[in-house]
Structures are given as C-alpha cells and as structure tokens.
Structure 1
Amino acid sequence: MNFTIEQEQESDGRWLAEVPELPGVLAYGATSLEAMTKAEVLALRVIAERLEHSESRPFAISISIPVMA
C-alpha cells in the first residue's frame, strides 16, 4: 500500500500535512518539513497500532513525500 503526505499552508502561516489513506492522520507544524515529519511519525504509529492489535495484516509500505518547488 502506498501512502502520500499532502501538505498545504494555512492562512495563519502554519503548515498542515496529512496522509489521506489513513483517516485522522494529520499534523500541524511551523514549517512544511516539520508538519510532514509529524504526519509521517503519526502514520507509522497508526500502522504499528493496527498491526499490534491485529486490525491489519502486515504489508509492504511506501511513503511518498512531494518535492518542494
């Protein structure tokens, strides 16, 4: 399964990053990198929790981070 981190800058200057394939996995940061890092960490925690509680089977994962322009 492939996971993508999407990001956007809010009107107040904060950055929001989320993993659409995992509902509820989103994080704010002062910078784009900080928000993406937090979202990736949270995504890995969610996947680990699902595996630990037998809510998911093990699968190959790939996390894509868009290139900044």
Structure 2
Amino acid sequence: MKVEVENEDDGRWIAEVPEIPGAMAYGTSKQEEVAKVQALVLRLLADKIEHGEEAPEIGRVFTVAA
C-alpha cells in the first residue's frame, strides 16, 4: 500500500494511506509517521477481520495455501 508523506508548514509531518479510510498520522519526523501509519493500517485491518468484514488489502500481506 502506498504511504503518502507531507511536511506541513508548522513543521509537523503527516503520513496517510489514501486507500484505507482513517489511516492518517501526525508527528515530528518522516520516519516516525511512516511507522505510525503502517501500524495504524495493520490495526484497522485486524479490526475489520475480527468483526467479520471484508479486508481485501490483507491479501497483500498474507496468502493462504489451498
């Protein structure tokens, strides 16, 4: 999944994964924000799976042998 990163005028960094609604994080460095948004995406996908919702994005993380 593509992570978009931007440095705001006030010095904060923002990282976002546009294909996952709500996957956005702010912080003080680019590396910190990429790590935060990646962890957030994993939590959001785990929550979907636990609640029986479709999470097609997880197919890029895991494969299930037939």
Q: Aligning the two structures, in what range does the TM-score lie when normalised by the shorter sequence?
A: 0.7 to 0.9
Q: How well do the aligned residues superpose, as a CA RMSD in angstroms?
A: 1.4
Structure 2 distance, partners of 1:8, 1:57, is 27
Q: Residues 32 and 51 of structure 1: is their aligned pair in 2 closer, same or farther, counting only changes over 3 Å?
A: same
Q: Residues 33 and 57 of structure 1: is their aligned pair in 2 closer, same or farther, counting only changes over 3 Å?
A: closer
Q: Which runs of 5+ in 1 are unaligned?
A: 63-69
Matches within 5 A, 1:12-31: 12-31=10-29
- Compare the two structures and name the one with the higher strand fraction: 1
**Alignment partner of 2:18: what SS?**
coil
Q: Which runs of 4+ in 1 moved over 6 A?
A: none
For 1:39, give the aligned amino acid.
V
Structure 2 distance, partners of 1:13, 1:56, is 37
Larger RCO (CA within 8 A; separation ≥ 6): 1
Q: Which runs of 5+ in 2 are unaligned?
A: 62-66
Identity of aligned residues (%): 45
Q: How many residues align?
A: 60
Structure 1 distance, partners of 2:2, 2:22, is 14
- Compare the two structures and name the one with the higher helix fraction: 2
